[in-house]
Amino acid sequence: ALLPDLKRYFTVTSVQDDLDEVFHPEGAQFAVTLGGDGTILRTARLMGDHQLPVVGVNLGNLGFLAALQPEQLDAALPELAAGRHNLIDHLMFECEVVNEGGSAVSRLGLNEVAVLAGPPFSMLEAQLYVDGDLVATYNCDGLIISTPVGSTAHNLAAGGPILRKDLQAFVISPISPHTLTNRPVVDSADHVYEVVVPAPNDGTTLLVDGQVVAPLTPGDRVRVSRSRSVFQLVEVSGQSYYRTLRHKLGWGRRPRDPEDDDRC
């Protein structure tokens, strides 16, 4: 339905419905996604080493990433065609599982790495290493290493802070930490982070951007580091990171009665 609009300003080089198929950038200048934040995530993974700047058109509720509403397209497309837009760089990461046999799997991600206890759900004991130094041992239901983009997803639910989208940092947040002083830590994206679970459950699992990657076995090291690939989101005028946050998180609402004179 948006194709005619797009074609008035741009040459459409390819249309892809199935985000599991091979990606054909074919000299394109932008990728336009129709959907929500999940669609953008999948597109970023699909593009791998060949990241095109993404124009995220939102078809659902207001998204953190897909902040452009369909009704704003009329105004936004000519701006875009005229080059009056910003490209905001977003941190992407490589997640490898390394064990005695070398590197087993590798995934490109935009949101977060999660190691979850899994069946039979005994408490997870996860060691975190930064640049090879043991940082902490977490007794928890899971451990999340999140980018700024991912910080408003699983990390926020687990009690982590919001990281402004363009920050070059990761936040590490435990899920249900049994040591109550184990608080979220924010550290530079220039370090290498490793999670080791010496005695995993049968069902202890590694997820990247919410997708199951592999079960974890005792010798595995989950290594997370900055990717050379950078996810670029197109921002046209009128969009604002904090305005989106305000709307999505209801920061404008007051939970109390403004007419009331008491603090209750």
Of 223-252, binders to its own copies (CB under 8 A) are 240, 242-243, 245-246, 248-252
Residue 260 burial by Cβ neighbours in a 10 Å radius (0-12, 13-18, 19+)? exposed
Which three-class secondary structure state does DSSP give residue 188?
Answer: strand
Nearer to its own copies, 28 or 245 (CB): 245
Q: Is the peptide bond before 78 cis (omega within 30 degrees of 0)?
A: no
Q: How far is the CB of 34 from its own copies (least distance, A)?
A: 11
Is 17 a residue that touches its own copies (CB under 8 A)?
Answer: no
Q: How far is the CB of 52 from its own copies (least distance, A)?
A: 19
Among 46, 47, 104, 162, the residue binding its own copies under the rule CB under 8 A is: 162
Is 113 a residue that touches its own copies (CB under 8 A)?
Answer: no
Q: Which of 5, 17, 18, 37 is labelled catalytic?
A: 37
Cα separations in angstroms, 261 against 236, 254, 258:
42, 14, 8
Is 158 a residue that touches its own copies (CB under 8 A)?
Answer: yes
Among 119, 198, 218, 238, the residue binding its own copies under the rule CB under 8 A is: 119
DSSP 263: -
Among 75, 183, 237, 238, the residue binding its own copies under the rule CB under 8 A is: 183
Is 213 a residue that touches its own copies (CB under 8 A)?
Answer: no
Q: Could you give the count of Cα atoms lying within 13 Å of 180 in the half-sphere of its Cβ?
A: 0
Do residues 106 and 247 touch, judged by C-beta distance below 8 A? no
Among 154, 220, 232, 236, the residue binding its own copies under the rule CB under 8 A is: 154
Do residues 114 and 143 touch, judged by C-beta distance below 8 A? yes
Is 254 a residue that touches its own copies (CB under 8 A)?
Answer: yes
Active site residue 37: yes
Among 9, 88, 105, 203, the residue binding its own copies under the rule CB under 8 A is: 203
Is 214 a residue that touches its own copies (CB under 8 A)?
Answer: no
Is 147 a residue that touches its own copies (CB under 8 A)?
Answer: no
Is 56 a residue that touches its own copies (CB under 8 A)?
Answer: no
Q: Give the Cα separation of 27 and 11 in Å (integer).
A: 11
Is 188 a residue that touches its own copies (CB under 8 A)?
Answer: yes
Q: Could you give the count of Cα atoms lying within 13 Å of 190 in the half-sphere of its Cβ?
A: 1
Full DSSP string of 132-158:
TEEEEEEEESEEEEE-TGGGGTHHHHT
Closest by CA position to 204, among listed 214, 194, 195: 214
Is 88 a residue that touches its own copies (CB under 8 A)?
Answer: no
Applying CB under 8 A, what is the total number of residues that bind its own copies? 89
User: Which residue numbers are catalytic?
Assistant: 37
